[in-house]
Amino acid sequence: MKQYLDFTGKIVLVTGARSGIGQATAVAFAGQGANVIVSGRRPCDETLAQIAAEGGKGEFVKCDVSKEEDVKTLIDTIIEKYGRIDVAVNNAGCSSKKVPTAEQDMENYDRVNNTDARGLFMCMMYELRAMLPVGKGAIVNIASVAGLIADPNISPYVGAKHAVVGMTKAAGIEYAEKGIRINGICPGFVETEMTQQWSGNPEVRARVAGYNMQKRAADPSEIATVALFLGSDMASFMNGAMLPVEAGQTAH
């Protein structure tokens, strides 16, 4: 019987894998037998330690996704060693300064968009160039519930995540006939290092948790399992889809 979540021997790339969703996703794929390349601006030692502790295979390649040369080097390094990328999870991102739009500044706007939108686009572009000669592959883009609806005071982030949704849909339909599936996830509020700036405030935490029907934040592993699904053959008939994983936040 076919095991749909068996990634034994598969080459999986996870960007932004030092902590949070990226870390949980890298560990999840490694737990299913994949050779996982974890990348980030800083070393992903804890992620690699978790992978090793579960008997998985992982290695680190440094990459700042806002820099095209870094992205190109990352993909070239993987292809040179393994000859292919089977699954790529584009998770690297950053948050916005939390102030109204009139109080934002272009430095913050550029910082957020260079990573969350432009960086993801470059990753996807180079991943596709690597997958096309092989004729198959799966790309999973991590957006946000803010790519489907808007939250106040983080307009650069909302704009960037809306861009991720649009790019995922466009690329998803472009490459469906080429054997490459491109889909994405729109997580709600997740307990990560990046969200501690909000979750550390009990009032803000209660308000944000109240947006969804389970009245709680998600654990990163709850997003990682959806990434596993989208990277697997169980999602073989999905192209350009964005899955909201937010306990009903956008359903009411």
Q: Is residue 79 part of a domain?
A: yes
Whether 4 shows a pLDDT value over 70: the answer reads yes
pLDDT band at 72; cut points 50, 70, 90: very high
pLDDT at residue 199, as a whole number? 58
State CA 31 to chain mean position distance: 18
In whole numbers, what is the pLDDT of the chain averaged over residues? 94
Residue 209's pLDDT is 72
Distance CA 212, CA 90 (A): 25
Residue 212 lies in a domain: yes
- Opening angle at CA 115, ends 129 and 174, nearest 5: 35
Alpha-carbon span 173 to 232, nearest angstrom: 18
Domain for residue 39, yes or no?
yes
The residues pairing with 218 across neighbouring beta strands, listed in sequence order, are 190
Average pLDDT for residues 101-129, to the nearest whole number?
A: 98
4, 109, 126, 157: which is the annotated catalytic residue?
157
CB neighbours of residue 234 within 10 Å:
12
Whole-Å CA distances, 146 to 103, 165, 194, 250: 19, 10, 15, 10
- CATH number for the domain harbouring residue 46: 3.40.50.720
Instruction: Determine the number of helices (DSSP H) and then strands (DSSP E) in the chain.
Output: 9, 7
Instruction: Give a yes or no: residue 60 inside a domain.
Output: yes
Is residue 2 in a domain? no
- Verify whether residue 157 is a known catalytic residue: yes
Question: What's the rounded Cα separation, in Å, for the pair 207 and 234?
Answer: 35
Rounded to whole angstroms, the Cα distance separating 249 from 219 reads 16
Give residue 3's pLDDT. Answer: 79
Structure confidence by residue, pLDDT tens digits, 76-97: 999 999 999 999 999 999 999 9
pLDDT of residue 198: 58
The pLDDT tens digits of the residues spanning 126-176 come to: 999 999 999 999 999 999 999 999 999 999 999 999 999 999 999 999 999
What pLDDT does residue 38 have? 98
Residue 6 forms part of a structural domain: no
In the prediction, which pLDDT does 77 show?
A: 98
Domain that holds residue 166: 11-245
Going by pLDDT thresholds of 50, 70 and 90, the confidence category of residue 54 is confident
List b or e across 101-118, with b for residues whose CB sees 16 or more CB atoms inside 10 angstroms: eeebeeebbebbbbbbbb
What's the token pair of residue 27? 């560990």
Instruction: Average the pLDDT over 101-122 and give the result.
Output: 98
The structural domain count of the chain equals 1
